Chain A
Amino acid sequence: MNYILDGFKEAIWLLLRGDSEIYNIIWLSIWVSGVATLLATLVGLPLGIVTGIKSFPLKKLYGSILFSLMGIPPVVVGLLVTIVLSRKGPLGSFELLFSPEAMVIAQFLLVLPIVTGVLYGTAKEKGKQAYELSISLGANKLESLKLLIKELHSSVLLAVMYGLGRAISEVGAVMLVGGNIKGRTRVMTTFIAMNNSMGAYEKSIAMAIVLLTISLIINGISHHMSGGKSNVD
Chain B
Amino acid sequence: MSIKCHSVGKSFKNKLLFSDVTAEFKSGICNCLTGENGTGKTTLLRIIAGLEKSDRGSVHKIGKCTYSGSNPYMLRGTVFDNLIYPLTLKRHGGHPDKDKVNEMIEQLGLRGLEHREAATLSSGEKQKVALGRAMIWQPDILLLDEPTANIDREMVREIENILLEYVKNPSRTLLLVSHDHHQISRIAGESWVLKENALLKV
- A residues contacting B by CB (< 8 A) are 129-130, 132-133, 135-140, 143, 147, 150-151, 153
Contact of A139 among B50, B89, B134 (CB under 8 A): B89
Contact of B66 among A137, A140, A151 (CB under 8 A): A137
Contact of B75 among A132, A133, A136, A143 (CB under 8 A): A133
Please give 7 more A-B residue pairs, beta carbons under 8 A apart, in addition to A132-B51, A138-B89, A147-B75.
A129-B73, A132-B73, A133-B73, A136-B49, A137-B134, A139-B89, A147-B85
Contact B73 A137 (CB under 8 A): no
Kindly list chain B residues whose C-beta atoms are within 8 Å of the C-beta of A139: 89, 91
Q: Which residue of B lies closest to A151 (CB)?
A: B76
Contacts A132-B51, A143-B89, A143-B90 given; indicate if A138 touches B73 (C-beta within 8 A).
no
Chain A CB within 8 A of B116 CB: no
**Complex CA–CA separation, A136 to B137 (angstroms):** 11
Chain A CB within 8 A of B124 CB: no
Indicate with 1 or 0, residue by residue over B72-105, a CB within 8 angstroms of chain A CB atoms: 1101100000000110011110000000000000
Contact B90 A137 (CB under 8 A): no
Residues of B contacting A: mostly:
mixed
Kindly list chain B residues whose C-beta atoms are within 8 Å of the C-beta of A130: 73, 75
Looking at chain B, what size class is its interface with the partner chain?
A: 20 to 34
Kindly list chain B residues whose C-beta atoms are within 8 Å of the C-beta of A153: 76
Q: Can you list 27 A-B pairs, Cβ within 8 angstroms, ordered by A?
A: A129-B73, A130-B73, A130-B75, A132-B73, A133-B72, A133-B73, A135-B50, A135-B51, A136-B49, A136-B51, A136-B65, A136-B67, A136-B68, A137-B66, A137-B86, A138-B64, A138-B86, A138-B89, A138-B91, A138-B92, A139-B91, A140-B90, A143-B89, A143-B90, A150-B76, A151-B76, A153-B76
The 9 closest A-B pairs by CB, nearest first: A129-B73, A138-B91, A137-B86, A136-B67, A136-B66, A133-B73, A139-B89, A132-B51, A138-B89
Q: Which residue of B lies closest to A233 (CB)?
A: B76
Q: How far is the CB of A99 from chain B (nearest CB, A)?
A: 42
Chain A CB within 8 A of B133 CB: yes
Within 40-62 of B, Cβ neighbours of A (below 8 Å) are at 49-51
